[in-house]
Structure 1
Amino acid sequence: MVTPARVVIGLCLSAPFVAMLWVGSYARTDPAFIGIPFFYWYQMLWVLVSTALTVVAYKLWQRDQRARAAARGGARR
């Protein structure tokens, strides 16, 4: 069953893959950040962003599962 929460979960989990596979968007040296070329700091930034998106996806999944369990429990009574 596709729900809005599951769509958001899918987007959260697929965004890092799309960002890293689209190499043309970050295959350059400028702008540098504290002397680090863009190519490197962009990838390191995505490590943090990916972590945050995975946490969001996990929390949404937990909420979705609790709602489904509550709906099943309410239907049985």
Structure 2
Amino acid sequence: MSQQDEPTRAPARPGPYIAVAVILAAGIVLPLVVPIYARQAPSFIGLPFFYWYQMLWVVIEAVLLLICYRILRAEDRRRRAALTGGAASEREARS
């Protein structure tokens, strides 16, 4: 006899996932647009624009991923709280 698993989360809303997809897509596509950075001026601490622009995107991507992580974490907390009536979010807030 098989048992059905009880759901651990309420249904998802598409909004947060669409926002995360757009943020991640921007972080992937913008560094691939070569005409934006295919030049030497302006230089920064002796580095041509091409090099420091690419390194700047490393930092920007880290910030974008942090934002995406927080959006998805908040959505997961909302889904768990909606299913359990708020008890799960209170436990997570204490930990």
Residues 23-42 of structure 1 aligned to structure 2 (within 5 Å): 23-42=34-53
Judge which range, 46-55 or 64-73, deviates more. Answer: 64-73
1:11 deviates by 2.2
| Structure 1: gaps of 5 or more residues | none
CA distance in structure 1 between the aligned counterparts of 2:83 and 2:25, rounded to whole angstroms: 29
After TM superposition, the runs of 4+ consecutive aligned structure 1 residues lying more than 4 A away are none
Look up the match of 1:2: 14
3-state SS, counterpart of residue 58 of structure 1: helix
Give the alignment's TM-score, normalised by structure 2: 0.70
Alignment length, in residue pairs?
73
Give the alignment's TM-score, normalised by structure 1: 0.84
Please, what is the CA RMSD of the aligned residues?
1.2
1:49 deviates by 0.4
| Structure 2: gaps of 5 or more residues | 1-12, 86-95
Judge which range, 5-14 or 16-25, deviates more. Answer: 5-14
